Amino acid sequence: MMDPQSFIGRCQVDEDIADPARFVRLAATLDHDQPPWLEGMVPPLGHWLCFQPDARHSNVGPDGHPVRSDTGLLPNVDLPRRMWAGSRVEFRREIEKGAAIRRVSTLVAATPKSGRSGEMLFVTVRHEIGERDGEAAIVEEQDIVYREAAAPGAPLARPAVAVEGDDEVVRIVAPDPVMLFRYSALTFNSHRIHYDRDYARDEEGYPGLVVQGPLIATLLMDHLLRQKAGRKIARYSFRAMSPMYDGEEMRLGLAYESGQARLRAIGPVGVAMTAQADFSA
């Protein structure tokens, strides 16, 4: 295992096509006949459906993630549990559907910490995405947390984050195993906590299938766009607060403050995710 600090500055370049069929399937997963996106353009957060992992099956670990190595982008540390904790996304310009696109990913931070749940590693990856040979249209800083393996038979503690204040617009959803499967298929995410109930319970200590963080963030973005169809988003950020499990009722809340959209997903024990968005002028 290498010092995670030695990975800082590593870069990886990926290329793809912004295939319109992916966004048709995203609209179906979000239950739209006519999605509230700009016609002909990649929808906000649609870039998460692109640049899918392509590790050979023999190079996939027991959790379903590609095996890390000393030569890869992400630090090779002995902390098996992984969570996408949040992102800060800047939408600088639109990307046309069908465009040839490129993503340049750079590891910009790798910070070890110790907490009540044991040793952790906080990693930040900066993604710059745009049409090939063009300027970046989307810039995202993605935060990933690596944690120790769960103790055998120990249930995973779920933080209870208090709900304060009221929301102006509320929508109720209950992500089920089918929605989780479809979103994992859209992103080619093979992490077993999202579809293998026995693994999620017995190996990682979850009581059910874990709703993907980016799916919750996408549901919040969709909640906003259902109210502001066609509006251009300049910036979007989210932070995961507490996990949600399949079948649980999720209350999507939206409020406006000083021209900014404030969003949150609320589950059985409180706030599961917070997000905010700024509109383009």
pLDDT digits (tens, 9 = 90+) for 25-52: 999 999 999 999 999 999 999 999 999 9
CA dist 22 and 9 (Å) reads 31
Domain holding 104: CATH number?
Answer: 3.10.129.10
CA dist 152 and 57 (Å) reads 27
The pLDDT, as a whole number, for residue 154 is 65
Q: How far is CA 256 from the centre of its chain?
A: 23
Look up the pTM and report it: 0.94
Give SS3 for 202: helix
Q: Which residues pair with 30 in a beta bridge?
A: none
The answer to whether residue 70 scores a pLDDT higher than 90 is no
47-51 own/partner pairs: CB under 8 Å, 24+ apart: 47/95, 47/101, 47/103, 47/129, 47/138, 47/140, 48/187, 48/214, 48/218, 49/22, 49/23, 49/186, 49/187, 50/16, 50/18, 50/22, 50/101, 50/103, 50/129, 51/14, 51/16, 51/103
Count up the domains in the chain and report the number: 1
pLDDT in tens, 220-278: 999 999 999 888 999 999 999 999 999 999 999 999 988 899 999 999 999 999 999 99
Mean pLDDT of all residues in 199-219: 94
The pLDDT, as a whole number, for residue 1 is 57
pLDDT in tens, 75-122: 888 888 888 999 999 999 999 999 999 999 999 999 998 877 788 999
Give SS3 for 29: helix
Decide: 73 and 10 in contact? Cβ < 8 Å.
Answer: yes
Decide: 79 and 224 in contact? Cβ < 8 Å.
Answer: no
Q: Which residues have a Cβ under 8 Å from the Cβ of 198 and sit 6 or more positions away?
A: none
Q: How far, in Å, are 172, 216, 274, 275 from residue 179 at the CA level?
A: 15, 11, 21, 21
Q: What are φ and ψ of residue 193, in 5° steps?
A: -65, -15
Mean pLDDT taken over the chain: 93
Mean pLDDT of all residues in 155-174: 88
Taking alpha carbons only, the member of 263, 191, 271, 256 closest to residue 44 is 263
Confidence label for 170 from pLDDT (cuts 50, 70 and 90): very high
The answer to whether residue 150 scores a pLDDT higher than 80 is no
Taking alpha carbons only, the member of 149, 159, 73, 78 closest to residue 112 is 78
Beta strands in 132-224 (DSSP E): 138-147, 169-173
The pLDDT, as a whole number, for residue 6 is 84
Mean pLDDT of all residues in 125-146: 95
| Domain region containing 17 | 4-279
Percent of the chain with pLDDT over 90: 73
The pLDDT, as a whole number, for residue 11 is 96
Confidence label for 153 from pLDDT (cuts 50, 70 and 90): low
